[in-house]
Amino acid sequence: MAGQRGFWADWSFAKLALGATILVLVILLAVFVVLYKESSLAISTFGVWKFITSQVWNPPLDKFGGAPAIFGSVVSTVIAITIAVPVAIGIAIFLTEIAPHFLRTPVGVAVELLAAIPSIIYGMWGLFFFAPFMRDKVQPVIHATLGKIPVIGQWFSGYTPGIGLLTASIVLSIMILPFTAAIARDSFKMVPDILKESAYALGATKWDVMKDVVIPYAKLGVIGGIILSLGRALGETMAVTFVMGNQPVIPKSLLEPATSITVTLANEFTEADTDLYLSSLFYLALILFVMSFLVIVIGKFFFLKRVER
């Protein structure tokens, strides 16, 4: 009797898990189908290549191109990841290997609390405090230093109102920082103590242990956290909307206002008064969906699998 109950319990659990998996796939497919259906008018009007390369976004003339929004999304995400990842790994190393035990819990909780702050709070903080700070303190220094460097100096010059691509990227990096740091910290904690103790016994320094033992052992978890943070950065809306500037052009400088896919959708969805306008916005949403999906797929099946091998 007990064996029969165990069989039915296992069978029910397996079917429930299978149903949950199928439900996720159905939801993903349903989202894709709806986005594709709603954007079909824009796809048939502009095509794929013309839409993603055109820099014209002019609703009164029914001319729409996604290049400025796609550029803003990609560049802000890359800059945010570039800033956040080294800081997050440094925080994880400090909390697991360097910090005194009485500091590890409060500092760890403080870092995790950053993830609980609503994105609109980050946006308001960025607009009313960080953007003026960038305008008055940081951007003049960038002008005087990086702006003078040949070739790359053009990316750090020009009109600097405080809000812009670089400001949005920094705010975005602060938002994804706790996710990457928390996952990296948990991954470092999973490294067996005997491995670290063996390295110390052989004369390794703390830096040697982190570089040659802890990070290689936990790299799969760290990379997974980076990929999740990358997906979060691509889809962030409210905070970026406040501080990017919503200018539908490809900026000549990282300090100038720009736009992204999420910013365009948040600001213009209620203003879409024609079918082609609305369909073009759905087209941008479809592109963002595909971009996010490709990031996860490439990170999981190419990068992570190669690291595992």
Query: Looking at the structure, do residues 99 and 129 belong to the same domain, yes or no?
Result: yes
Partners of 63 in the beta sheet?
Answer: 58
Bin 58: left if φ > 0, else alpha if -120 < ψ < 50, else beta.
Answer: beta
Query: Looking at the structure, do residues 29 and 118 belong to the same domain, yes or no?
Result: no
Rounded distance, CA 229 to CA 80, Å? 10
Query: Looking at the structure, do residues 258 and 176 belong to the same domain, yes or no?
Result: yes
Query: Looking at the structure, do residues 17 and 106 belong to the same domain, yes or no?
Result: no
pTM as predicted? 0.89
pLDDT band at 309 (very low <50, low <70, confident <90, very high): low
Q: With pLDDT > 70 as the criterion, what percentage of the chain qualifies?
A: 95
Structural domain that includes position 161 = 39-308
Query: Looking at the structure, do residues 180 and 268 belong to the same domain, yes or no?
Result: yes
Give the closest residue to 175 by CA, choosing from 117, 224, 130: 117
Query: Looking at the structure, do residues 25 and 147 belong to the same domain, yes or no?
Result: no
Supply the pLDDT for residue 280. 92
Query: Looking at the structure, do residues 128 and 231 belong to the same domain, yes or no?
Result: yes
Say which CATH number the domain at 162 has: 1.10.3720.10
15: its two tokens: 């079917």
Query: Looking at the structure, do residues 3 and 59 belong to the same domain, yes or no?
Result: no
Query: Looking at the structure, do residues 221 and 281 belong to the same domain, yes or no?
Result: yes
- The tens digit of pLDDT for each residue in 77-119 reads 999 999 999 999 999 888 888 888 888 888 888 888 887 888 8
**CB half-sphere exposure, 172, CA atoms < 13 A:** 37
Let me know if 308 is exposed, middle or buried by CB neighbors in 10 A (0-12, 13-18, 19+): exposed
Partners of 95 in the beta sheet?
Answer: none
* C-beta separation of 268 from 281 below 8 A: yes
Query: Looking at the structure, do residues 8 and 87 belong to the same domain, yes or no?
Result: no
Query: Looking at the structure, do residues 7 and 139 belong to the same domain, yes or no?
Result: no
- The tens digit of pLDDT for each residue in 240-275 reads 889 998 888 898 888 889 999 999 998 888 888 889
Q: What does the mean pLDDT of the chain come to?
A: 86
Query: Looking at the structure, do residues 121 and 133 belong to the same domain, yes or no?
Result: yes
Domain count, the chain: 2
264: its two tokens: 């365009």
Q: SS3 breakdown of the chain: % helix, strand, coil, rounded to 5?
A: 80, 0, 15
Q: Within the chain, what is the greatest distance between any pair of CA atoms?
A: 81
